[in-house]
Amino acid sequence: RRKATMAMADDEAADRRRALLSLDARRSALLAESEAIVSELTADPGGGAAPMGIDTPLVDGDGYPRSDVDVYRARHLRRRFKEIQTDVKAAERELASGLEGLGPGGGGGIANPSRAEGTDESERARRTAPKPPPKFDARSGRWVVRNWDGSLSE
């Protein structure tokens, strides 16, 4: 029985690793696509014209579409670039939460030893301890509170 549960735990850890590797590959592909979009948007079109740019105006000073830029293409690339940025952030959040679950040795232990149970409890106790009451400082004419390190907070 014990061997069966250990084998199941190993299978789950391997599945999590595969999922994380797949997610990292997706993030890498998105980053490569965003780099290609940025290079196209910032490429010099030649002829003294300004590049499309990532956030430069697509209209001239009079409010008409720039004649040296394919406005439709620029808007499409910019929209896709923003979508990729959002997808990359989401993938990085998923990767971070997945890596926290793996922990040392590939198991499901605690990934960050500073976040152990005792540390959380002691910090919670410190934060919920009663705070000192504010006192009036006659020299500055303000109410002040003494911080945990002895300094004054105004």
From CA 83, how far away is CA 65, in angstroms rounded?
Answer: 24
Band (41; pLDDT cuts 50, 70, 90): very high
From CA 90, how far away is CA 26, in angstroms rounded?
Answer: 11
From CA 50, how far away is CA 57, in angstroms rounded?
Answer: 11
- Tokens 């907070």 belong to 153
Band (109; pLDDT cuts 50, 70, 90): very low
Q: Across the chain, what does the average pLDDT equal?
A: 82
Look at residue 87 in the predicted model and tell me its pLDDT.
96
- pTM > 0.85: yes or no: no
Task: Give the pLDDT mean for 94-118.
Answer: 63
CB 86 within 8 A of CB 79: no
Structure-model confidence comparison of residues 148 and 121, the more confident one: 121
Task: Give the pLDDT mean for 42-64.
Answer: 88
From CA 76, how far away is CA 123, in angstroms rounded?
Answer: 49
Look at residue 110 in the predicted model and tell me its pLDDT.
43
